[in-house]
Chain A
């Protein structure tokens, strides 16, 4: 299929320069690559800039209310598992007002593809801090800087026993397409954190890796089965070591030719290493001044690509299988047969 088949007739109203344009394009490309017909795809969103996305995709779409996209998407997928269901959400929609639905769709492993647009700001309400804004972030609702500790979305996903987590960057369309296609292929709740720039209210929030000169030094694209190598000159690799005092495992940067360089295993059920990978570089997002601190030679890169992709039974399958099993064995399958089983008498 062609990406153009997934473009709706609506004029795209994201701000000029907004990172959502790139994700929209990547979505259309990914959907074409996946090749599921438009009428079998449902895109559900809540409220926020990113939640406008269904309007620009020529599929079934439902732009609902703030925070509830996850619950509504759960209803669509569970009742109709034959559909491909996407959820478009932002750091406010998914992690603040919709936080409960987010952790439960992950815990239940509903087979949804969730794009979590993270720009660390509320854009549609014109610039308030979000649950991913770094502590000290100055916004209209935090004129003296926030005093809150932010979420790291990956940590939340793994804490809810997530089976799939990928991270991508608005300006890196090929990686985004790869992550979206992988999300569709994964059976279960697939969370793709899309780091997007808000050109109006939080410009440059991901510049640490978004700037072309810095990206390759500050980020690594993880691919299952491949060595963890990064850097402009592909000269650095990642290895794991155990701290001799605390016995806590930690990742370290080693030369690319070091035999200790890890090979990425996204399918490993144990989340320990996935967590370490997903948290690399996240301290820069926790507090405001740290983003400006210059990097050191040994600084861990921010991980992009599919970090975790493991198998587990999906909620929608479990629910539907149980109904089929009970119904298969049932003697009464219609209303009249059901009422016949009642203790009854004639008068």
Chain B
């Protein structure tokens, strides 16, 4: 088996995120690629045992892992509500809904481990079952291998001599499930125990009972010889790894938000600047604030401001004073920051704005993923207000694009909006740990010495980028403004020709950044197999070969689109640089007869591309359900349309 998807689901209080993370981390340490999807409700603690309180963690592991998996191969369901939600998927609220492979969160041939102690009449009532037999009621097909385990009883048994109270004992149930899954995957227990000790480092009293329960879970699988086959993933021979990458590399698993924070830290050190973050708590971006507030050892100044506007404004103040300044938020916060971002555009100050997108509009779906802030990032400001927009496309490369956002901002005196989303932010992936020395140089646009005494804030270099002078520098005193400035003197100007000149200067400044970003690459190339065809309704040619079809995406959907392109055997172009676009964008796109832009919105990037390249015919495929793409649905769309 090449790769496999595991889903842990239970009540919000059952510790599913911790369990899932521990499993994913061990899998990664054992040489698997991983991609994870935490899927939890917005309520911190919904009523126990209810459908609304189900929290889940999904991970795909193996080789060539592009996504966190469409559907699970192995499921752990800790209670009746979780069983219902994972069986029915988005239809869990429909009365009389039955297992339907289209909506279910697991496959027809999945292994389903269920805590039978949590299926009492009371549990079933809370989860809105109508009959005493949940499996029958849900219509789970016989092909699904149900593994009933008395998790609660077995956990109590394991800890009967521990002297712990009942409530504390029950909190260890998740470790029994984890031990069982470790057995299923034949993971080495000594590493698992070491990892558990790491996770509970700050609560040493919990190490022994949790270890006991986890080991008992493992032994339960082994000794009682559960009627389940252990799963063995294909191991990549070590020489094959080495042939790809000549030197051995060091890896860890990292969540997108943490990777983003660390990208900023690395960029600040490389640029010789202090990192300043002005932020306000907002789901799902808050972990960036958490991480940077904890990184005082790295000399980071992270301010929790009084509101979103103050978050960006304190950052603008720090940028004015010469720091590498950032603000982190999600869609609603980006709306609030719009005017201030416009100020940074006008004042031509370096500023990094991180938007961890979530379901919108308004409060929307705070814990779910979406790509719906693209047009806001591109255009959501008053006046002609161009800013750089880039997007990360994996949890791990949040690091690279956060770094790149800082580099572009400092070298081009402009706000840069970095788009990530819930999927990347909370998901974890394998990250090759870089050394600072191997990261690209960053050269802030600090004013050269020869301008001392005759500096003004409108002076530009040959690229059209103005110079940065900040308080404390003697001989460069000046007044910066949000008003229009004179193109020569830098003072307030209302002159009509000057305004047009300045609008174009700011536009040009953003456009010239295309000279220093990488060209668009075709990530997945179709083989010349012309037997695979797809229909094209619009074209006079009734059938376009897959080799002439190009999937296009941007941001967090890269993994799903890569998997879809693999399956379709068509080409994929994926964008990380959105404004400006890579210089060869038209050249690449125009080589394909069929272009399908796939996004988690109603077609924002497709609309943007059509506006840039009106000569291209661009199709679109969209999902807006607050969930990542399902590869299967993309494939079906491209095949059948």
Contacts and interface: CB of A to CB of B under 8 A. Distances in A.
A44 B317 contact: yes
B310 A79 contact: no
A75 B435 contact: no
A342 B478 CA distance: 44
A59 to B, nearest CB: 6
A335 B298 contact: yes
B554 interface: no
Interface string B538-578: 00000000000000000000000000000000000000000
A37 B264 CA distance: 33
B110 interface: no
A330 interface: yes
Contacts of B137: none
Q: Is the interface of B mostly helix, strand, loop or mixed?
A: mixed
Given A37-B474, A71-B305, A74-B314, A61 B297 contact: no
A3 interface: no
Contacts of A54: 479
Given A60-B471, A64-B316, A74-B317, A327 B296 contact: yes
B278 interface: yes
Given A41-B471, A64-B482, A104-B310, A75 B276 contact: yes
A72 B317 contact: yes
A105 B473 CA distance: 26
A58 B477 contact: yes
A101 interface: yes
Interface string B309-323: 110011111111111
Contacts, number: 193
Contact-residue size bin, chain B (C-beta under 8 Å from the other chain)? 35 or more
A76 B482 CA distance: 17
A123 B387 CA distance: 33
B630 interface: no
Contacts of B492: 55
Interface string A37-80: 11111101001000000110011111111001001111111111
Interface string B228-249: 0000000000000100000011
B433 A339 contact: yes
Contacts of B339: 65
A62 B347 contact: yes
Nearest to B339: A65
Interface stretch (A131-139, A178-186, A215-223, A318-326): A318-326
Contacts of A62: 320, 347, 479-481
A68 B340 CA distance: 8
A298 to B, nearest CB: 42
Nearest to B434: A339
Contacts of A80: 318, 321-323, 471-472
Contact of A71 (B195, B297, B310): B310
B10 to A, nearest CB: 25
B488 to A, nearest CB: 14
B314 A72 contact: yes
Given A63-B479, A335-B436, A39 B471 contact: yes
A38 B477 contact: yes
Nearest to B306: A104
Contact of B317 (A58, A71, A338): A71
Contacts of B316: 64, 72, 75
B265 interface: yes
A346 B315 contact: no
Contact of B266 (A323, A335, A347): A335
A75 B252 contact: no
A274 to B, nearest CB: 24
B200 interface: no
Contacts of A338: 262, 265, 295, 297-298
B198 A79 contact: no
Contact of B313 (A8, A61, A68): A68
A336 B298 CA distance: 11
Contacts of A47: 482
B479 A61 contact: yes
B320 A72 contact: yes
Contacts of B322: 80
Interface of A: 8, 10, 37-42, 44, 47, 54-55, 58-65, 68, 71-80, 82-83, 100-101, 104, 319-320, 322-323, 326-327, 330, 332-336, 338-339, 342-347
9 contacts: A55-B479, A59-B477, A68-B313, A75-B313, A75-B315, A79-B276, A79-B318, A330-B297, A332-B298
Question: 7 closest Cβ contacts across the A-B interface?
Answer: A75-B317, A330-B297, A75-B314, A71-B313, A326-B296, A61-B479, A71-B310
Given A42-B471, A74-B317, A338-B262, 18 more contacts: A8-B479, A39-B476, A41-B471, A60-B479, A61-B480, A64-B347, A72-B317, A75-B313, A75-B325, A76-B317, A80-B471, A104-B306, A333-B299, A335-B266, A338-B297, A343-B25, A344-B433, A347-B241
Interface of B: 25, 28-29, 31, 195, 198, 241, 248-252, 262, 265-266, 269, 274, 276, 278, 295-301, 303, 305-307, 309-310, 313-323, 325, 339-340, 342-343, 347, 433-436, 470-483, 491-492
